[in-house]
A and B are shown apart, each in its own frame.
Chain A
Amino acid sequence: MNRILAIAGKELLHIVRDPRTLIAVLAMPILQLFLFSYALSFDVKNIPTAVLDQDLTQASRQFVDAFSESNYFTVTQRLSALSQADGVFDRGEDRAVVIVRKGFAERVAAGETGEAAVLIDGSEPNAAQLGQAYATGLSRAFAGRVTAQALLAQGIDPKQQGGIVAHVRVWYNPEGRSAFYLIPGLIVVLIMTVTVQQTANTLVREKENGTAEQLLVSPIRSIELMVGKLAPWVGLAAIDVVGITLIGLYLFGVPFRGDVALYALASLLFITGCLGFGLIVSARAESTEVANLLAAILSILPGFLLSDFIFPIRNMPVVIQFVTYLFPARYFMAINRTLFLKGPGLSVLWPQFAGLAVYAAVALLVASILYRRRVG
C-alpha cells in the first residue's frame, strides 16, 4: 500500500509540474462536449438545392414551395436548362435538384399524372439517404393534397375513405432531440480518448528516461506499479466526467432518470478500464510515437464505431460484434443510455456492470504481466 501511494505521489507530481498539460486534460473533453453537442446533429437540414421549373405555373410553384418551405431543403439557385444540373453537382454547389416537367399543371388539372423529378447527390450516402426519404415524403404529402382537393371537387369526402391510421410515438426522446442521443454517447467517446492517451505514455516515458531500470531494482511489484500509475489519473478523469455531465444536464437539458450512485460507480469502473487499456499500450510500445499512434487509433475509432454510439452493434457482422467486447465503450454506452434516458438500475444493467468490472481487472493484470515480461 505504501509503495502504491509512493508511485501515485510521484505520478501526481509529474502531472502537477506540467500545468499546461493538466489544464488541457481537464478542459479538453469539457470544451469538446460543449462544441460537439452544439454543432452536431444526426438530422440533415438545409440541403442546398437548385430548382429547374420548366412549367412555371401556380401548381409547379406550389410543388417547389413544398420543398423550400420544409426545413430539409434550401433553394439556392434556379436553373433554366437540364444541362446545367451536371455542373451544379460537379462544382459541389448543391446536393439536390428539383425538376418540374413542362405540362405539370395542365396534366394535374386534367386528372392525369403530373411529372417531376428530384436528383440527389449520392457522394455522401448518409445525407443522400435522408434526402431521398424527405423528397419522397414531401412529394407523397403534396400528391395527397392534390388528390384530396380533386376528390372534394367531385363531392367525395377524402376523410371518409378509411384505412390504417398510423400513430407513431417515440419514447424516452419524444421530440427526437439530437442532444439526447449525442450527450450520453459523447461522454463515453470523449472520456475514452482522453484517458487512454494519458496512461499510454507513462510507462514508455520511464523506459525512455531510463528510470524503468530503477523501478525494476526497487521492491515494487508490477501490479503495484500499475495501480500507482493509474490512481492520480482516475481522479482527473472523474473531474472530467462531472464537468461533462453537468454541462449535459444543465446546458443542454438532457434528462437523468436513473440512479446517480450507479452512474458514479459505472464511471469509475469505465475510467479504470480505459486507463488500464492505456497501460497495456504503454507496456507494449517501445517509443512514445508508437504509444501515441496506438492510443489514438485504439481509442478514437473504437469509441465511435464499436460502442453502439452511431452504428448499432446488433447489425454488425458477427466477427466485429465479438471485437466490440474487447473495448470498454460498449458496456458504458448501454449503461449511460439507460441511466440518462430510461431509468432502471442494476436489475437490467448488471451484465454491463459485471463487464466493466471484469474489464478493468483484466486490463490491469494484463498490463502488469506484459510490462514485467518486457522489462524482465
Chain B
Amino acid sequence: MSRRRILLLIWKEFLELSRDRLLLPVIIVMPLLQLFMFGYVVSSDVRDIPTAVIDHDLTPASRQVVDAFANSGYFRIVARGQDESGMKALMDASRAQVVLIVPPGFGDLMLSRLPAPVEVVVDGSESKTSQVAQGYAQSILAAESSRLLPPPPGAVTPPKVPKLDVRVRVLFNPGLRSVDSLVPGLIAFILLLSVTLLTSQAVVKERERGTLEQMFVTPITRAEFLVGKMLPYGIIATVQVAVVFTVGTLWFGVPFRGSLAVVAVGALLFLLAGIGQGLIISTLSRNRYQAQVASMFIIIPSFLLSGFVFPLESMPRPVYLITYLIPLRYFLVVLRSSFMKGTGFGPLAPQLFAMAAFSAVIFGAALLRFRKKLAD
C-alpha cells in the first residue's frame, strides 16, 4: 500500500465533495440542528394537560379536589360544566384530554367517612399524555383523600399498624434528565446516518459514471482504493461526533464521567461497522437511488430497534434476537455507560467485541463482493 496514492485518493474524494457548496454546511449544521431539536423536544415534560371539570357536588370538599388538580401544574382546566355529553364533544375534538367528574354527594360521603367515588376520564389516543395523566390523577386523589378525611370519631389512640419504608432511588441520573442519555444516543445515530448514507453512495457513484474502470487501469490497488474511498467519510464522521460532543456537554450540560479512550475505541469500531454496511450496500446496488433506498432500510430499523427510543426488554423474543445484529445497539451501551457511569474497558468488553466481530464479517463480505463484482 502506498501512502501517497491513498492520500491522493482522499484528496480527490474531498475535492469532489467540496464541489457541492451545500455539503459542508449540511454536514456540520445538520448534527447541531438535530441535537437542539432533540434536546429541547425530548426534555419537555408533559404538563398542562387540557382538562374539563364536571363538579356535580359543589361543596368545599369537591372544590378542594378540583383545585388540587388545577394547582398541580399537570392539569390545566379548560372547561367547566354540568353536562357530560358536552364533555364527550370536547374529548372528540381533542380540546380536552382529561375529564374530572365529581358525583353529587361527594362532600357528604367524605364527611361521614364512607368511600366517595371520583371519576377521571383520560383520552387514550396518545400514549405519553394518557400514561402521565393516569398516574398523576391517581396520586393527586390519594393525597387529597388523606387530607380531606376527618379524624375517626371517638378514637383515642389510632390503631397501631406496620408501615413500609421503601426507598426507590434512581442511580446515575437521579433527576431523570432525558437529555443526558439523549446526547450519547444522538452521537451514535448521527454517526450511523451520515456514514451509511455517504459511503453507500461512494462506490456506486464511480460505477454509474464509469470512472471505476478508469481507476483500475491506474496503479492503485483495490485495498488502496477502498481505504482512500472510505477514510474521508471516517474523517467527516469524526468531525461530526466532536461537534455534537462539545455542544452537548457545554450547552446542555451533559456530564461525561468516562474515559475518552473507551469512547474513541467504541467509535472506531462502530465507524468500521457503519462503513462496512455502507460499502456492502454500495457494491450490491446498481444505481445511487437503490443505494439510498437500501440505506434507509438499514437506518430506520437501527433507529427503532437499538434501544435508542424504545426499550429493548419490552420487545418480543424474535425481534429481541434480531437486535443483536444491530451494531448501534452495542455502541449505545458503550456511549451511555461512558457518559453516565464512567465505565471502563473491562465491563464493556462484550459490546466492543461484538462490534469488532460485526465489522470483520461485514468488511470481509464487502471485500469479497467487491472483488467478484470487478471480475464480472
A binds B: yes
Cβ contact within 8 Å between B194 and A293: yes
Whether B84 is near chain A, meaning CB under 8 Å from some CB there, is no
User: Given A35-B301, A290-B26, A293-B198: A116 and B178 within 8 A (CB)?
Assistant: no
Q: Does A38 contact B (CB under 8 A)?
A: yes
B residues in contact with A25, CB < 8 Å: 293
Name the segment of A156-164, A216-224, A267-275, A357-365 touching the other chain: A156-164
Chain A residues closer than 8 Å to B41, beta-carbon distance = 305-306, 311, 316, 320
- Judge whether B193 and A123 touch: CB under 8 Å: no
Residues of B within 8 A of A79 (CB): none
Chain B residue numbers with a CB within 8 Å of A20 are: 286, 290
Instruction: Check if B47 is an interface residue, CB within 8 A of chain A.
Output: yes
Q: How far is the CA of A205 from the CA of B201 in the complex (A)?
A: 14
Contact of A162 with B116 at beta-carbon distance under 8 Å, contacts A41-B314, A91-B347, A308-B126 already known? yes
Whether B44 lies near A129 (C-beta < 8 A) is no
Mark A72-116 against chain B: 1 for CB-CB distance below 8 A, else 0: 000000000000000101111001000000000001111111111
Would A24 and B297 count as touching, CB distance under 8 A?
yes
B115 x A128 contact (CB < 8 A): no
CB pair A120–B65 under 8 Å, yes or no, is no
| A164 and B110 contacting across the interface, CB-CB below 8 Å | yes
Question: Does B37 lie within 8 Å of A306, measured CB to CB?
Answer: yes
A129 to B45, CA, bound (A): 12
Q: Determine whether the beta carbon of B307 is less than 8 Å from that of A164.
A: no
- Whole-angstrom distance between the Cβ of B21 and the nearest chain A Cβ: 7
Q: A170-B130, A301-B34 are in contact. Are A116 and B109 (CB under 8 A)?
A: no
Contact, CB under 8 Å: A181 / B125: yes
Closest to B38 in A: A305
Q: Is the interface of A mostly helix, strand, loop or mixed?
A: helix
Q: A121 and B171: CB pair below 8 A?
A: yes
Q: What mask results when residues 283 to 305 of chain A are scored 1 for a CB within 8 Å of chain B, else 0? A: 01111111011101100111011
Residue A236 at the chain B interface, CB threshold 8 Å: no
**Stretch from B135-143, B210-218, B267-275, B358-366 that touches the partner:** B135-143
Interface of B is mostly: helix
CB distance from A121 to the nearest CB of B (A): 6
Tell me which residues from 44 to 60 in chain A have a Cβ below 8 Å from any Cβ of chain B. 44-48
| B129 CB-CB contact with A under 8 Å | yes
Cα separation A147 to B37 with both chains bound (whole Å): 48
When distances are taken between beta carbons in the complex, the residues of chain B under 8 Å from A294 are 22, 26, 30
Q: How far is the CB of A344 from chain B (nearest CB, A)?
A: 5
**Bound form: Cα–Cα A35–B320 in Å:** 12
Q: CB-CB contacts of A139-171 with B at 8 A, as 1s and 0s?
A: 100110011001100101001111111111111
With A305-B37, A317-B40, A341-B125 as known contacts, state yes or no: A297 contacts B293, CB within 8 Å: no
Decide if A373 is an interface residue (CB 8 Å cutoff). no
Tell me if A126 counts as interface (CB < 8 A to partner B). yes
Residues of A within 8 A of B296 (CB): 28, 193-194, 197, 296
Cβ contact of A172, chosen from B125, B128, B129, B289, cutoff 8 A: B125
In angstroms, Cα B17 to Cα A172, docked, is: 51
Q: B residues within 8 A CB of A91?
A: 347
Contact call B168/A120, Cβ cutoff below 8 A: yes
Whether A162 contacts B314 by the Cβ 8 Å rule is: no
CB distance from B88 to the nearest CB of A (A): 9
Instruction: Specify the chain B residue showing the minimal Cβ separation from A23.
Output: B293
Contact (A132, B314) CB under 8 Å given A40-B304, A296-B193: no
CB within 8 Å for A342 and B311 given contacts A114-B165, A297-B34: no
Question: B154 in the interface, Cβ–Cβ < 8 Å?
Answer: no
Q: Looking at the assembled complex, report how far the CB atom of B32 sits from the nearest CB atom of chain A, in whole angstroms.
A: 11
A348 within 8 Å of B (CB atoms)? yes
Kindly state the separation between the CA atoms of A312 and B181 in the bound complex, as whole angstroms: 19
Inter-chain CA distance A320–B50, complex, in Å, is 20
Q: Number of A-B pairs whose CB atoms are under 8 Å?
A: 373
Interface positions, chain A 113-140, Cβ under 8 Å from B, are 113-129, 132-133, 135-136, 139
Report A-chain residues with C-beta under 8 Å of the C-beta of B288.
201, 288
B167 near A42 with CB under 8 A, answer: no
With contacts A38-B316, A181-B125 taken as known, whether A163 is within 8 angstroms of B116 at the C-beta atoms is yes
Contact B141 A166 (CB under 8 A): yes
CB distance from B294 to the nearest CB of A (A): 7
Contact call A169/B121, Cβ cutoff below 8 A: yes
In the complex, whether A176 has a CB less than 8 A from a CB of chain B is: yes
- With contact pairs A165-B115, A293-B26 given, residues A92 and B141 touching in the complex (Cβ less than 8 Å): no
A44-B314, A164-B110, A165-B116 are known contacts. Are A119 and B171 too (CB-CB below 8 A)? yes
A18-B290, A162-B109, A344-B92 known; A171 and B201 CB under 8 Å? no
In the complex the two chains form, what is the Cα distance from A368 to B264 in whole Å?
45
State whether B162 touches A114 (Cβ < 8 A): yes
- Please give, as numbers and ranges, the residues of chain A lying within 8 Å of B164 by CB-CB distance: 108, 113-116, 139, 142-143, 146
CA distance A156 to B28 in the complex (A): 69
Instruction: Determine whether A174 belongs to the interface, using a CB cutoff of 8 Å to chain B.
Output: yes
Separation of A11 and B180 alpha carbons in the complex (Å)? 46
On whether the beta carbons of B22 and A147 are closer than 8 Å, the reply is: no
A111-B160, A168-B134 known; A296 and B197 CB under 8 Å?
yes
A92 touches B333 (CB 8 A): yes
In whole Å, how far is A158's beta carbon from the nearest beta carbon of chain B? 9
Q: Are A166 and B118 in contact (CB under 8 A)?
A: yes
**Which of B52-60, B219-227, B243-251, B334-342 is the contact stretch?**
B334-342
Decide if A334 is an interface residue (CB 8 Å cutoff).
yes
In the bound complex, do residue B115 and residue A162 qualify as a contact, i.e. CB atoms below 8 Å apart?
yes
**A interface residue numbers (CB < 8 A to B):** 18, 20-21, 24-25, 28, 32, 35-36, 38-48, 87, 89-92, 95, 107-129, 132-133, 135-136, 139, 142-143, 146-147, 150-151, 154, 156, 159-174, 176, 178, 180-181, 184, 193-194, 197, 201, 205, 284-290, 292-294, 296-297, 300-302, 304-306, 308, 310-312, 314-317, 320, 323, 334, 337-338, 341-344, 348
A-B contact pairs, 21 of them (CB 8 A): A18-B289, A21-B289, A35-B301, A38-B316, A39-B315, A113-B165, A118-B168, A122-B172, A123-B181, A125-B176, A160-B113, A184-B125, A288-B205, A288-B288, A294-B22, A294-B30, A310-B128, A315-B46, A316-B44, A338-B125, A342-B91
- The 6 nearest A-B residue pairs measured at CB: A122-B173, A173-B124, A162-B113, A139-B166, A164-B145, A170-B124
- 20 new A-B contacts, CB < 8 A, other than A124-B307, A181-B126, A337-B126, are A21-B289, A28-B297, A40-B304, A40-B310, A41-B314, A90-B341, A110-B162, A111-B162, A118-B166, A120-B170, A120-B171, A143-B163, A147-B163, A164-B148, A170-B121, A205-B289, A297-B34, A305-B41, A342-B92, A343-B92
